[in-house]
Amino acid sequence: VEASGVFCNKEAFRALRGGEYQVSDESSANVPRILLSDGMHLDVAHGTTTAAFEFNGGIIVAVDSRASLGNLVGSRTTEKVLPVTGRILATMAGGAADCSYWIRALSMRMRLWELEEGMPASVHLAAHTLAADLRQRRGMGLSVGTMVIGYNPGGFPCIYYIDNSGACVKGKRFSIGSGSSYAISILDSNKDWDMTMDEAADLAVRAIQRATHRDAFSGGFINVFHIAPDEDWRQIRRIDSARLPNPHSSLGTSSHA
């Protein structure tokens, strides 16, 4: 199904049309590429690779750290994961300034909400607050493709994808950015719910590593974070992708008739 540059399967399309978000003409105007394991994706020309998925031991978030300026590398140490609260994270894909501003503004609002209410903010509240803010500013040239990730009170894992058109989509695994097609292929190759923490972290590293080797706009460090129920998020890996072996170097070449 195609609607104004949004490609998705019939179920995802019905979910979008039946929810708060209505597909609009600017849905794919300035948004990075997004791939969901169920087939939905958006295409635009911004470089990065971010990924998140659920497993038995919590939620894993993995990102690269390269920032691109057109065909140039602007930075290889960009922090693409920002805290919203002690238990909620958000990733950055798209315009660095737009993502950083709106995620930091969201963090301020959620922390004030927690002070006023005396309880942790839910991922649902954070995601829909950000989506509402961006929906009000559709057509203003923003470039935001973010995931809001964490656990709702009660121990329910949540991963939301939000973009500058106001889309707010919940799922179990996402990959966003120019290298997302490479990362999601690795994530989809192992859907074992009962992975250990180390196995899940290794899978995340392999996914981002594949993107850094195949996508010219992804690179730098691979940063991996873990979120568990009733615990604050924490970073568990930081690896220089340039020091990792080429995952394709052992494939060799062969010819077949």
Cα torsion 220, 168, 202, 251: sign: negative
Contact 92, 147 (CB under 8 A): no
Residue tagged active-site, from 48, 78, 85, 212: 48
Nearest CA among 79, 41, 39 for reference residue 61:
79
Beta partners for residue 171, in sequence order: 159
Quick check: is 91 catalytic?
Answer: no
Helix (H) or strand (E) holding 151: strand 145-152
Kindly report the CA angle at 191 between 187 and 194, in degrees rounded to 5? 125
Rounded distance between C-alpha atoms, residue 210 and residue 219, angstroms: 10
Nearest CA among 192, 241, 197 for reference residue 217:
241
Contact 206, 213 (CB under 8 A): no
User: Active-site residue numbers?
Assistant: 48
